[in-house]
Amino acid sequence: MSNAIFKLPTPQNEKVLSYAPGSPERAELQAMLQQLKSEYWEVPMTIGGQKVKTGNTVTMHPPHELAHTLGEYHVGTAEHVQQAIDAALAAKDAWAAMPWQDRASIFLKAADLIAGPYRAKMNAATMLCQSKNIYQAEIDCVAELADFLRFNVEYMAQIYAEQPPISPEGIWNRLDYRPLEGFVFALTPFNFTAIAGNLSAAPAMMGNTIVWKPSEAQVYSAALVMEIFELAGLPDGVINMILVDGPEAGEVIFSHPDFAGLHFTGSTGVFQHLWQTIGNNISKYKSYPRIVGETGGKDFVVAHPSSDAKQVATALVRGAFEFQGQKCSAASRAYLPESMWSDVRSYMEADLASMKMGTTEDLGNFINAVITEKAFDKIASYIDQAKADSNVEVIMGGGYDKSKGYFIEPTVILAKDPKYRTMCEEIFGPVLTIYVYADDQYEEILELVDTTSPYALTGAIFAKDREVIQFSEQKLKNAAGNFYINDKPTGAVVGQQPFGGARASGTNDKAGSILNLYRWISPQTIKENFNPPTDYRYPFLG
Ligand code: NAD
């Protein structure tokens, strides 16, 4: 085994391809979409490298074409959760002992597979599974996932190189970055294939072994991520993918003495419930589990009268409606000055009128379907309530139809009450609520923005005046973990804008940054003395 300190390839953000008409990547993607639609995928669980089929299956359909069946996945039980924990613990020692360069290589190779030979398949799977248009799929399952893997390898190397700066004569002080003792549970949401891959890969990279439960609504693309990790050389048992009902899985995981950490992204309510369960079980564990959770948001856009109406309108339509508003960072409440409201409104109306809604396979569609019937019904109920309430008005969109797929029009609500429920609660759909304020009330509006919702994930301000920008940034210091000046509040890029929020939006451990990787290690300090003392007496004793 070599003991050299190897120089890593410098990570670069994966280039986002255009998929413009006539481009080779567009032709390859379209062929892959057709191929996947002509196949029937049977997705097993992966436990200790074994493909586990239970015969208890659930069929998978594109949210925008319910009549089509993509395949089926095998649902497991508590017994499979236990098997996955056993497999993770059995794989632990060998994986933790593997030189970090070899662990790095596996994930760098996975990134190259994703950005290379598997690019079209990753995109097509994400487009069909989560109803993302090609641009949304490309920035998620290809660019962001490859970035997560490549940048995290760089951060891992930086952590390992960090050593105590001082070793006085005769002493050698060292830090060893052990993985956590036990297994890590990665529990992932439907909306980003990249998050699903990263939540399992990041702790694994640091030498941990993982039980991973993807969302029921993301199994189709999650299975492909698992396949790529294996193809890249991930040893059996390092990441175990279980397809078990969340609470049933939690029951086994959170009572296990070797439970060492939770890497979660999902809704605030679920995370708070999990935290409480872990707290109640604290005396059962061998160590204090690391709890990392990135959760909901109620992300804002505030425009100052000095800002540009067209820029604000574009940020709102992109920020609120891309991927049907199902990004945790999606703009869902906006505060606009009276003086620019009519301009912003007409720009938005023109944009929405030009947006096409339909399947992801038709690349002319900007808007696709929302993820599940449950999500559709919840979003539709907010819209119905807004139509019935007298202190708000649905001024754009408001239509929905689930006969062929879960389609909801981009919807804009105008609220007279800045604390109306759609200004405060996370809807997680294509619904934006706007409050129009008197131009001279800007300072009061910032106070309102800061105190309206329990979340603090993303937020944006638009202004030309530098003093206003500086003042707004200070005033909203704790209102957003990712703060944008003259830009939409979505689209964080790994290596550029580490992502995460505070307050009810999460533990703010910034996925895709060195800060996140620190959570998956338990450093050991080693002091070696080359000349141990042989007399207990100090000089002061005379
Ligand atoms: P969700 O909370 O419904 O589910 C997340 C995961 O938890 C899924 O795998 C689900 O099966 C599982 N789960 C649900 N209840 C459980 C329970 N009682 N015990 C164990 N597991 C359980 O979230 P979702 O609908 O998949 O994703 C959308 C949510 O995620 C939104 O609230 C969004 O804001 C948030 N999100 C946040 C970020 C961020 O970085 N802050 C990023 C993406 C999504």
- Which position among 65, 144, 322, 328 bears the catalytic label? 328
339 inside domain: yes
Regarding whether 313 and 235 lie in a shared domain, the answer is: no
312 inside domain: yes
CA of 523 to the centre of ligand 1 (A): 30
Q: Calculate mean pLDDT across residues 41-50.
A: 98
Cβ count within 10 A of residue 413: 27
Which residues in 118-142 are b (16+ Cβ under 10 Å) and which e?
bbbbbbbbbbbbbbbbbbbbbbbbb
Regarding whether 185 and 116 lie in a shared domain, the answer is: yes
User: How far apart are the C-alpha atoms of 56 and 46, rounded to whole Å?
Assistant: 15
Residue 55 Ramachandran class (φ > 0 left, ψ -120 to 50 alpha, else beta): left
pLDDT band at 4 (very low <50, low <70, confident <90, very high): confident
Answer yes or no: is the C-beta of 265 below 6 A from any ligand 1 atom.
Answer: yes
Answer yes or no: is the C-beta of 326 below 6 A from any ligand 1 atom.
Answer: no
- E strands, 361-457, are 392-396, 400-401, 407-408, 411-415, 431-437, 455-456
Answer yes or no: is the C-beta of 57 below 6 A from any ligand 1 atom.
Answer: no
What is the per-residue pLDDT across 204-217, written as a single tens digit (0 to 9) for each? 999 999 999 999 99
Do 220 and 129 meet the contact criterion of CB atoms below 8 Å apart?
Answer: yes
Regarding whether 387 and 278 lie in a shared domain, the answer is: no
CA 247 to ligand 1: nearest atom: 19
Cβ count within 10 A of residue 22: 6
What is the per-residue pLDDT across 462-489, written as a single tens digit (0 to 9) for each? 999 999 999 999 999 999 999 999 999 9
Which residue has tokens 């597979």?
113
CA of 7 to the centre of ligand 1 (A): 37
* CA-based end-to-end distance of the chain: 52
Question: Amino acid identity of 430?
Answer: P
Domain that holds residue 36: 24-295+506-526
The pLDDT assigned to 151 comes to 98
CA 210, 216, 218: angle at the middle one, nearest 5? Answer: 80
Regarding whether 186 and 129 lie in a shared domain, the answer is: yes
531 inside domain: no
Q: What CA–CA distances, in Å, run from 442 to 36, 416, 437, 446?
A: 52, 16, 8, 6
Cβ count within 10 A of residue 237: 24
Which residue has tokens 């449950």?
374
Answer yes or no: is the C-beta of 410 below 6 A from any ligand 1 atom.
Answer: no
SS3 451: helix
CA 273 to ligand 1: nearest atom: 18
Regarding whether 305 and 284 lie in a shared domain, the answer is: no
The pLDDT assigned to 7 comes to 84
pLDDT band at 8 (very low <50, low <70, confident <90, very high): confident
7 inside domain: no
8 inside domain: no
Q: Which of 45, 187, 254, 497 to mutate to test the pocket of ligand 1 (most atoms within 8 A of CB)?
A: 187
Report DSSP letters for 108-148, one per residue. HHHHHHHHTTTHHHHHHHHHHHH---HHHHIIIIIIIHHHH
SS3 163: coil
Entry pTM: 0.98
CA of 166 to the centre of ligand 1 (A): 44
Number of domains in the chain: 2
CA 294 to ligand 1: nearest atom: 41
Regarding whether 438 and 519 lie in a shared domain, the answer is: no
Helices 268-280 and 246-253: crossing angle in degrees, nearest 10, is: 30
User: How far apart are the C-alpha atoms of 209 and 95, rounded to whole Å?
Assistant: 8
CA 189 to ligand 1: nearest atom: 26
What is the per-residue pLDDT across 55-87, written as a single tens digit (0 to 9) for each? 999 999 999 999 999 999 999 999 999 999 999
The pLDDT assigned to 5 comes to 80
User: How far apart are the C-alpha atoms of 486 and 155, rounded to whole Å?
Assistant: 29
Regarding whether 307 and 220 lie in a shared domain, the answer is: no
Do 473 and 483 meet the contact criterion of CB atoms below 8 Å apart?
Answer: yes
9 inside domain: no
Q: Is 328 a catalytic residue?
A: yes
Element (H, E) at 507: none
Do 465 and 492 meet the contact criterion of CB atoms below 8 Å apart?
Answer: no
501 inside domain: no
Element (H, E) at 207: none
Regarding whether 118 and 205 lie in a shared domain, the answer is: yes
pLDDT band at 491 (very low <50, low <70, confident <90, very high): very high
Q: Calculate mean pLDDT across residues 497-517.
A: 97
Kindly report the CATH number assigned to the domain that includes residue 321. Answer: 3.40.309.10
Cβ count within 10 A of residue 306: 15
What is the per-residue pLDDT across 365-423, written as a single tens digit (0 to 9) for each? 999 999 999 999 999 999 999 999 999 999 999 999 999 999 999 999 999 999 999 99
User: How far apart are the C-alpha atoms of 193 and 129, rounded to whole Å?
Assistant: 10
Regarding whether 49 and 69 lie in a shared domain, the answer is: yes
CA 505 to ligand 1: nearest atom: 41
Regarding whether 319 and 174 lie in a shared domain, the answer is: no
Answer yes or no: is the C-beta of 323 below 6 A from any ligand 1 atom.
Answer: no
Regarding whether 521 and 418 lie in a shared domain, the answer is: no
CA 24, 30, 31: angle at the middle one, nearest 5? Answer: 90
User: How far apart are the C-alpha atoms of 100 and 2, rounded to whole Å?
Assistant: 12
Q: Calculate mean pLDDT across residues 496-524.
A: 98
Q: What CA–CA distances, in Å, run from 404 to 61, 358, 407?
A: 11, 10, 8
Answer yes or no: is the C-beta of 299 below 6 A from any ligand 1 atom.
Answer: no
**pLDDT score of 1 more than 60:** no
Question: Where does residue 263 rank: exposed (0-12), middle (13-18), buried (19+ CB within 10 A)?
Answer: buried
pLDDT band at 194 (very low <50, low <70, confident <90, very high): very high
Q: Is 129 a catalytic residue?
A: no
- What are the tokens at 317? 């339509």
- Which position among 14, 65, 138, 294 bears the catalytic label? 294
Kindly report the CATH number assigned to the domain that includes residue 151. Answer: 3.40.605.10
142 inside domain: yes
Size of the chain, expressed as the number of residues it contains: 542
Report DSSP letters for 263-320, one per residue. EEES-HHHHHHHHHHHHHTGGG-SSPPEEEEE----EEEEE-TTS-HHHHHHHHHHHH
Regarding whether 289 and 352 lie in a shared domain, the answer is: no
CA 198, 156, 168: angle at the middle one, nearest 5? Answer: 155
Answer yes or no: is the C-beta of 506 below 6 A from any ligand 1 atom.
Answer: yes
Answer yes or no: is the C-beta of 200 below 6 A from any ligand 1 atom.
Answer: no
Mean pLDDT of the chain: 98
Answer yes or no: is the C-beta of 505 below 6 A from any ligand 1 atom.
Answer: yes
